[in-house]
Structure 1
Amino acid sequence: MASSEVSSANNIVYQYYNCLILWRHKFIREDLWVRNGIILDPKMLFFDECKKPDIRIDCHGLYIVPGFIDVQINGGFSVDFSSHENVEEGIQKVAKGLLGYGVTSFCPTIVTSPRDVYHKMIPRIKIRNGSKDGAGVLGIHVEGPFISKKKKGAHPEDYIIEPSNGIKTVEDVYGSLECIKMLTIAPELPNASEVIKQLVQRGIVVSLGHSVGNVLQAEAAVNNGASFITHLFNAMLPFHHRDPGIVGLLTSSKIAKNRKIYYGMITDGIHSHPAALRIAHRANPEGLVLVTDAISAMGLPPGVHKLGQQSLTISGFTAHLTGTDTLAGSVATMPYCIKHFHKATGCSMEQAIEAATLHPAESLHIDDKKGTLEYSSDADFVMIDESFQILKTFIAGEMVYSCD
């Protein structure tokens, strides 16, 4: 193909019509315009370029929403990001599988592991754009080992440590911080404040979790730059009226100096009671971020599977450390989490979708391009019906999945 033909093909204008699009927090009956993988402003197209669409696509009354973003996912489809031998192959398998669930970008999550595992895995997980080959990788979420042993959850206690030498310990443990996008830390650990400051200066989103920290320690961490909470309610002190702990950050906007505090919630119907979801959502609806916390068994039948260095048993939608009653991540998919959240809280369809799109994008400071259908943003979007069923997934304007 000649270069002029390539240029012409790249400049094709697509018009998706007869649809409801999620536009600035509301579904409106409007068309979606796409060119070169970017969402267009039709007024500029008409008046500045005097151009009409090259291809018109009838959406038959479906909903168009931004592509889903999962900032905490440990694996899926038999792949565990903390122990998979062929890291690149594992990332590719999960990235491809996620397209069928409307996830267009994600943060592969590595749980508490030996130092050599981090040194092996982290350099081989690269940030990349999504395509027909799979969802985009936004960067790594390292969940541990700088957490509390008292709230370790499914994390192996032998590998949990403190940042005894501050940021130097962090660098020594991980080997490289280059592709780390989010890091979970317990705010009560020694040197946590200084570590948080330095991580934020390097552009890493700091999340608080797996902690017995009190509310003062949590607020101090926020003042030092922490802006996220890892799976709210799980692996932290329960709410107490005299010391609400990390949960108290839900209403701490003044402490956060008018910055939003975002918090992940695993809405699989198991990790948090519907009443807990309602309390969190009503206290801070704009900060809620749906995460799957999915493990290697997502998409697999019941049985025994691996999570990092440990074994777990799957029964229905429940995953436990083998031989215990300790919950070990989730096997629910993002569409299931959205649907359950919508039903459990009674929130609007728009709010349920934005908790898996706009809010995670905002928490990672990428909402200028992801998690939205605003003009000039990436054309990563999903066609769904009113029951949240994924019908088609698009990345950069290219259809990468169809239920047909």
Structure 2
Amino acid sequence: MCENSKLYKFANCRILRDHKIILEDLWVRNGVFVNPEKLFFDEKKPADVIIDCKNRVIAPGFIEIQINGGFGYDFSFETKTEEGLAIVSKKLLEHGITAFCPTVVTSPEQIYHKVLPKLKFRQGGKHGATILGAHVEGPFINKEKKGAHPPTCILSFEKGIEQLEKTYGSLDSVRIVTLAPELGNSAEVIQSLKQRNIVVSLGHSIADLSQSEEAVFHGANVVTHLFNAMLPFHHRDPGLVGLLASDKLCDTHPIYFGLIPDGIHTHPAAMRIAYRIHPDGIRFLKLHILSSSKCVC
């Protein structure tokens, strides 16, 4: 019998169903969940393998789409990139993260050229989480909201999408780009990235709500670390934060957002507000396990 065709029964496990954690067995075959009722009545087949979970929780793996490094490694440095990926990938898997986007912050052009080719898609397994491709956070951001990004490396879209190709060297390994939508030629860039199936996230920006909505209409659909590195919420113009309640986007232009839920970058009350306003939009929480290294330009 093929190993993959075996019927597995995960017994004594807790699973999430209807917003509750319940005690229930889980049946799997060929990597797919199987309905135990059909097994009993139609196949009358017992499990080939029974795994006692001893009351542990079985849950879907987390996907981390913005992690700048960790465990002593920084993805924005050209040295020990492969070693860092191997360590971070393995450590993340230990914490329930099954896939991630290694993130490179605003850096000199030569860093992108050397690092990004090493961050291409790689299937994970027991030795580590899947690498989905790179998230490049910058350098096409607003200097007024640079945060820890080095200002001397920040660029604009002078030549549109060609500027990105020149800066990054190639877009082959890139899966997410964080940019400031108020920059000139941003509409063209966002549309070009979307055509290449690259996710556009908005952040490190002073965009008003109108500029933010326009970016979403052109293909952007994520906000990078909501509340941080953007204009604070204002009742006359809520800026990027206002996307969560925009009546112009509706269901045709879904918007998602990330948060840094450490209680420092984002107050718990602010997180609750974001969740209550747009609960379907929260899709990732940025891990705060970054290396202490800084980019030097």
Does TM-score exceed 0.5, indicating one fold?
yes
Spell out, residue by residue over 1:315-366, the C-alpha distance to the aligned partner (whole angstroms, 9 max, x if none). Answer: xxxxxxxxxxxxxxxxxxxxxxxxxxxxxxxxxxxxxxxxxxxxxxxxxxxx
Q: Note if 1:12 corresponds to 2:13.
A: no
Which residue of the other structure, out of 181, 185, 206, is the alignment partner of 2:179? 185
Whether the 8 Å CA contact 1:112–1:144 is kept in 2: the answer is yes
Of 90-99 and 9-18, the range deviating more from structure 2: 9-18
Other structure's SS at 2:115 match: helix
The verdict on how the C-alpha distance between 1:135 and 1:219 changes in structure 2, with shifts beyond 3 A counting, is same
Change (3 A) 1:266 1:217: same
Please give the alpha-carbon distance, in whole angstroms, between the structure 2 residues aligned to 1:208 and 1:107. 16
The answer (yes or no) to whether the contact 2:12–2:25 under 8 Å persists in 1 is yes
Match of 1:158 in 2: 152
- Asked if structure 2 preserves the Cα contact closer than 8 Å seen for 1:147 and 1:210, the reply is yes
Alpha-carbon deviation of 1:32? 1.5
Q: CA contact under 8 A between 2:78 and 2:111: conserved in structure 1?
A: no
Distance 1:47 1:154 in 2: 60
Select 1:109's aligned residue among 91, 103, 125: 103
Q: Is 1:61 equivalent to 2:63 in the alignment?
A: no
Q: Give the CA deviation at 1:189.
A: 0.2
Q: Find the aligned partners of 2:255 and 2:17 in 1 and give their Cα distance.
A: 23
3-state SS, counterpart of residue 110 of structure 1? strand
User: 2:42 and 2:113 mapped to 1: Cα distance?
Assistant: 52
- Aligned pair partner of 2:70 in 69, 72, 76: 76
Matching residue's letter, 1:56: I
Distance 1:142 1:44, change over 3 A: farther
Instruction: Say which structure, 1 or 2, has more relative contact order (CA 8 Å, 6+ apart).
Output: 1
Partner of 2:47: helix, strand, or coil?
coil
Contact 1:253/1:261 (CA < 8 Å) preserved in 2?
no
Does the Cα contact within 8 Å between 2:225 and 2:260 map onto a contact in 1? yes
Counterpart check, 1:306 vs 2:296 = no
CA distance in 2, matches of 1:26, 1:263: 24
User: 1:90 aligned to 2:89?
Assistant: no
Instruction: Tell me how far apart the structure 2 counterparts of residues 213 and 52 of structure 1 sit (CA, whole Å).
Output: 59
- Of 200-209 and 256-265, deviating more is 256-265
Query: What TM-score results when the alignment is normalised by the length of structure 2?
Result: 0.93
Q: Residue 286 of structure 1 aligns to a residue in which SS?
A: helix
Structure 1 unaligned blocks of 5 or more: 1-6, 298-304, 311-404
Which structure 2 segments of 5+ residues have no match? none
Please identify runs of 4+ aligned residues in structure 1 that moved more than 6 A: none
Tell me what 2:235 maps to.
Answer: 241
Q: What is the distance in 1 between the residues matched to 2:208 and 2:136?
A: 22
Match of 1:135 in 2: 129
Q: TM-score, normalised by structure 1?
A: 0.70
Identify the match of residue 285 of structure 2 among 277, 282, 291: 291
Q: Contact 1:206–1:225 at 8 Å: present in 2 too?
A: yes
Q: Counterpart of 1:66 in 2: which secondary structure?
A: coil
Cα distance in 2 between the residues matched to 1:278 and 1:33:
36
- Aligned residue pairs total 297
